[in-house]
Chains A and B, each alone.
Chain A
Amino acid sequence: MTQPRFKRPVPHRTQPERGWSGLWGGPPIGEADPRPADDSLPFDHQVVNGAYSVVDDYLRQGQRLAEKFWLPLTPTQTEGFDGLAERFMHSAVDLSSAWLEMMQQWMPSTAYHAAPVGSAGPFVQAPEWGTQTPSPGSSHFPAAPPPPASEPIGSASSGSVSVLVESSQRTRVTVDLHRGIAAMDLLLGPLVAAVGEAPSIRGVEVETDRVQQQIDIRLRIPDGQPSGIYNGVLVDRTTHRPRGTVTVEVGSAS
């Protein structure tokens, strides 16, 4: 009878966890990683998407603005109407700026389309070797290419995102998304407390309309959810790779 051939154990994972280990509690990385091994092609190496930069600022600043307007002033908030008005103006300016950025980045004809990949040319200060009295910037060096002028993020295919939050507490939401995510079938895991033992937020849903390039994220924060920061991973159901994060700050100060 032939002896069975020895095989390597199937690894829990084949890549380092570069972005998440500092955010979660839980078991040591690699020893109890529940995600299946994935040997598919590596991440899309186009530079980070444009959507989340805008959504991030938009949500933060819009939420801050809303808080300033609609939440009652507490005794610790000593600023008067003038201060509030000034904050409103700041927020309005920031918000306008965010909208402008968003429009620029989502418009299909912006100057930037793909990550500029090249080099900065040779070291222009190195003298030609072999000369007894070298001089900098020898003429044989080709001129360095002009630097790209625009923000190296953004794409026309990032889609749009809506976030609906049901919460009786003050809540701040940040969504970070990879490029091209609107074309994926997504899964959002429970939002896990970044620090401490607070229960996870499980009332989370994500829906993707891949035709309209629309992502709807719905979050339901239970009454009495302890204050703190909670993080959840958006995972591509097909490749099981993380494609973004949702961060909720419950009970956050404005």
Chain B
Amino acid sequence: MSQPIKVAVIGGGCAAVTAACELTRPELRGRYAVTLYQMGWRLGGKGASGRGAADRIEEHGLHLWMGYYENAFRLMRDCYAELGRDPDRVRIAEWTDAFKPASFNAVTDWSPSGAWLTWKVMFPETPGLPGDPEARPLRIDEYLVRAATLVRTLLQTIRVGPQERDRVSFHTADPSTAPPTPDALSAVLVQLMKHGVLTGLGACIEIVGLLEAALRTISAYPQSLLARVLDAVSATLHREVAQIIGRDDEARRLWEVADLVLAAIRGSIRFRLVLDPRGFDAIDDFDCREWLRLNGASEAAINSAFIRGLYDLAFAYEAGDPKRPRIAAGSALRAAFRAFFTYRGAFFWRMTTGMGDAVFAPIYEVLARRGVRFEFFHRLRNVELADAALDSETSHVSALYFDVQAALVGDEYSPLCDVRGLPCWPARPDFAQLEDGARIEAEGWDFESQWETRIAGTTKLEVGRDFDLVVLGVGLGVIPYVCGDILRRDVRWRAMIEHVQSVPTQAFQLWLDAATSELGWNDGPVNVSGFVEPFDTWADMSHLIDEETWATPPRAIAYFCSVLPDTPTPAEGPTDGAAFLDEQHRCVRTHAIDFLARNIVHLWPRFSWDALRANAPDPLDPTTRFDEQYWTANVRPSDRYSQSLPGSTPYRISPLDHTYDNLTVAGDWTQCSLNLGCVEAAVMSGMLAAHAIAERPLLSRIVGYDHP
């Protein structure tokens, strides 16, 4: 057998580890020898978590997986299957032990009646499970049919009135009715328009049903006719529904969603998305709310709790400013259609432990078993390109420069700890495995920061000798720090850095000595979005209580997160970096305490500071109880969240890009088709990076890559 090709995978987030998994699949028969270089002591990137005091789980934020994350779930299912954990010895042995449906969700909005209201939705279970074979995202025309079905059902629900609303199931709408012929249907639509029959909610529901039939064979109808019908339906509905929603909050919310979906249908027709070769990308220059409004959505609808919840989900606030909600319309619509119309099993899935332990520990174990070498405490400093003037070949990476953040006592670093039989990641490195570990610990070196300059040494890897191919899988925020050579020489990379933006985020976690019902929340475990800034999202994570090791277990656990307003980052240096991090950390603490003092009352009317678990609070200052909770300012370059701002899509660089013949990129910031900051996009990008190297997996196996 010929010598394996040496691949350096840089980074340990979802994209990088996916690439490593794909390149070491057994069917490739050891063709690639992978070494993964990771800053600090743990894998996970923005999904890293650690076990702190009492084995409590400390996350970067709130992580929910969506039911359309087909590639990500496939990865995890393969991983757990290969790992073959003994369920009698390890409590999370199967992927179904690690992920559970989280179907109960809510968004909050400010009612005209003068109070914050939560709109609770139990998403129905759907057939199959994410990662099952035969996943097929829909075409745009198929999405439009489903969307019209949804509108019809919402209108029926509004029409029946609050007393009977529970009787209307979202599954009672029958989308399989045989459609009339296009001509017959056109004639009916024309007649309805001509004679002004379109009056009243009932007529609108009927015509939406006809529209639904027409959308099934959309190419058979004049687009202008469909557009006119939609205009007429919307105008009538705005008039009719206005009489209902003023006195019925539930109807108002349903109407807002119907209004948004109608706008999405109308826009898809007006913008000819069905046959546009760019698919949803064709409208990525627009902000999503702007595009919906352009296509007739009302101001109330584009400011609704539903839309705010979606923006919150994607941290879609430019520069972290809540007053600048922006996300590329096409990317948002693609994700929303996939999320609502193609999810399998459950709309959301939550992990039964920390994301590091549910996702990255099993991946680490599988990769280690396959022979992947891990070089922890290696922080990339520069990707050096061959001098094009001296080299007639295509541009390529000639060397990689790393800081060695700490020298090891032994040959390799063992990163995992044992939490009652479950392999987990610690919240801090194991200093005993590091040379000079006690001093490093005492001095507080920050191993996960680009700004930390205290290091144990440096190393240079040379092409041909140390590596052949490179997967650059670092976070978007890190690129300016490690790709100086590329950025100086490559205008496309400079444009990418300028246009594809990232944003800091903030999060805090509470351990409570009161159950959520005792705090005043009576509806069971929930995920809530669309709440006030600075923390728009709350998730009840009380299911994690048994996963931690408390002498006296808390009664509830709650996670909160949101974007964090961007501020200029410091110049490099331990003092500046540490000072900046301290300042941002204090800032998040202030936000959280203010939020608990002023805003949480709307969700937890009986909250008091005494509910926070604390061992040594200052009796004169109950807010000091917060200091024993966990909070984080995700401002380090590697922690920043990748956004999808309007107009940025063309500037993303694909892992398949061949500008450099021994380099590929991986991350949710790349052109990976989904183009959103999320686990699924990162996994897709990692699969593409592997394809760029090994031509495997086949592109047709990456679910949703060729999605419109």
A residues neighboring B (CB under 8 Å): 3, 5-11, 13-22, 28-31, 37, 39, 41-43, 45, 47-48, 52-53, 56-57, 60-61, 90, 94, 97-98, 101, 115-120, 122-127, 129-132, 134-136, 141, 144, 147-148, 151-153, 174, 176, 178, 229, 242, 245, 247, 253-254
Contact = CB atoms under 8 A, between A and B. Distances in A.
A7 B299 contact: no
Contact of A18 (B281, B286, B325, B692): B281
B468 A5 contact: yes
B110 A47 contact: no
B283 A7 contact: no
Interface in B645-665: 646-647, 649-650, 654, 656-659, 661-662, 664
Contact of B662 (A7, A19, A47, A48): A7
Nearest to B190: A90
- Chain B interface size, as a band, is 35 or more
Contact of B532 (A42, A124, A127): A127
B695 A9 contact: yes
> Interface SS of chain A: helix, strand, loop or mixed?
loop
Interface stretch (B168-176, B271-279, B566-574): B271-279
Contacts of B234: none
A9 B355 CA distance: 34
Given A7-B394, A16-B707, A123-B308, A134 B692 contact: no
B384 interface: no
B420 to A, nearest CB: 40
In the complex, which of the residues B110, B284, B594 has the most CB atoms of chain A within 10 Å of its own CB atom?
B110
A60 B220 CA distance: 9
Contact of B303 (A29, A124, A130, A152): A124
The 4 A-B pairs of least Cβ separation, nearest first, read: A30-B699, A18-B279, A19-B277, A42-B650
B660 to A, nearest CB: 8
A141 to B, nearest CB: 7
Contacts of B139: 22
A223 B5 CA distance: 56
Given A19-B708, A126-B532, 11 more contacts: A6-B468, A9-B695, A18-B279, A29-B700, A45-B284, A116-B294, A119-B324, A129-B598, A136-B110, A148-B294, A153-B270
Interface in B75-124: 109-110, 112, 114, 116
Nearest to A18: B279
A39 B109 contact: no
A7 B396 contact: yes
A45 B659 CA distance: 23
Interface in B676-708: 691-693, 695, 698-700, 705-708
Nearest to B673: A16
B216 to A, nearest CB: 14
A17 B532 contact: no
A155 B692 CA distance: 38
Contact of A130 (B219, B599, B693): B599
Given A119-B326, A120-B290, A125-B109, A152 B270 contact: yes
Given A5-B396, A6-B468, A11-B656, A129 B532 contact: yes
Contacts of A21: 706
B656 A14 contact: yes
B598 A29 contact: no
Contacts of B190: 90
B272 A8 contact: no
A14 B654 contact: yes
A42 B139 CA distance: 22
B615 interface: no
A33 B133 CA distance: 24
Contacts of B698: 28, 30-31
6 contacts: A18-B280, A28-B699, A120-B302, A129-B599, A229-B219, A253-B183
